[in-house]
Amino acid sequence: MDMKLRDKVVVVTGGAGDIGAETSLEFLREGCKVAVCSRSQKSLDKFREKVSAEGFSVLTGVVNVRSQENLDQFAKKTADTYGGIDIWVNCHGIEGYSPLLECTEEFWDEVLDINLSGTWRGIKAAVPYMEKRGGGSIVNVSSFCSIVPTAKNGVYSISKAAVDSLTKVMAAELAPKNIRVNAVLPGFIATQMTADKVETIKDMLIQPISMRRLGNPGDIARGIVFLAGDGGRYIDGHALVISGGKFIVQNPQDPWNNYQGGY
């Protein structure tokens, strides 16, 4: 399928992390012009090395998504460099491991401000440039935790549930501007951030997954590219679950075990 993405201008926030980096590379492989921002210059430098090794170049910038001014400046820098913005991917985020009753108000505010408000700010930064192009596509990276919350990771789960709602409302409000807004909901993805859990509790992690394997960043990146491109041209306000079939039934391991699970 021709995704009709060649020469499209893409911004990826949190683009130096595992999922963001793979997403940025997928867009580059499709012939896009890509701008990536991150909180960490060190992460951006490492990402640029990876991009260069594949023969691509990319625009980068250190951005704090808690600042509308930072995001607006990076959007302007991207548009000034590449001529506009067609696609914006909100891929930034932090997790928040704390039982809710033990969570400090400061930590609650930080997680919600980055994951939810940062996504809202990113959309606001992108829209003026998309309007000038006659439309565009926004993809928010949410989480499977938004539909099945995780105990002790409650603030994160709540923030991502709010991102799903934000996605639907913005999809409706931006439709008259020919701007689509969708979300992807990754299941458990094997990344550097989750490496310790993969090493210690992998068997437990795959129990609810019908495909009996963990996801990788490329699995999510391809979903994002699909939604952003021509394949998703009539998809709006959708939350695409990319989880390998997590919790699609109560006993996903039974078919693998010749239905000997007993339930």
Q: What is the pLDDT of residue 6?
A: 96
Sequence letter at residue 15: G
Positions annotated as catalytic residues are: 156
- pLDDT of 105 > 70? The answer is yes
Alpha carbon distances (Å) from 122 to 13, 63, 136, 197, 262: 8, 11, 14, 30, 49
Nearest to 185 by CA among 234, 148, 229: 148
Percent of the residues in the chain that have a pLDDT greater than 90, as a whole number: 89
Give the predicted TM-score (pTM) of the model.
Answer: 0.95
| Average pLDDT of every residue of the chain | 95
**Cα separation of 19 and 23, whole Å?**
6
Nearest to 37 by CA among 16, 53, 58: 16
**Cα separation of 26 and 64, whole Å?**
24
The answer to whether the beta carbons of residues 163 and 142 sit under 8 Å apart is yes
The answer to whether the beta carbons of residues 115 and 160 sit under 8 Å apart is yes
**Cα separation of 152 and 99, whole Å?**
4
- pLDDT of 57 > 70? The answer is yes
**Cα separation of 76 and 167, whole Å?**
23
- pLDDT of 179-208, one tens digit each? 999 999 999 998 877 777 777 888 889 999
Q: Tokens 């310790």 — which residue?
A: 196
Which two three-digit tokens encode residue 32?
Answer: 């896009």
Q: Which CATH class is domain 9-193+214-249?
A: alpha beta
H or E element that contains 48:
helix 41-53
Q: What is the pLDDT of residue 192?
A: 76
pLDDT band of 260, cuts 50, 70, 90: confident
Of residues 96 and 43, the one with the higher pLDDT is 43
Helices (H) and strands (E) in the chain, counts: 8, 7
Rounded-to-10 torsion of CA 95, 183, 120, 215: 20
- pLDDT of 120-146, one tens digit each? 999 999 999 999 999 999 999 999 999
Q: How many beta carbons lie within 10 A of that of residue 239, not counting itself?
A: 17
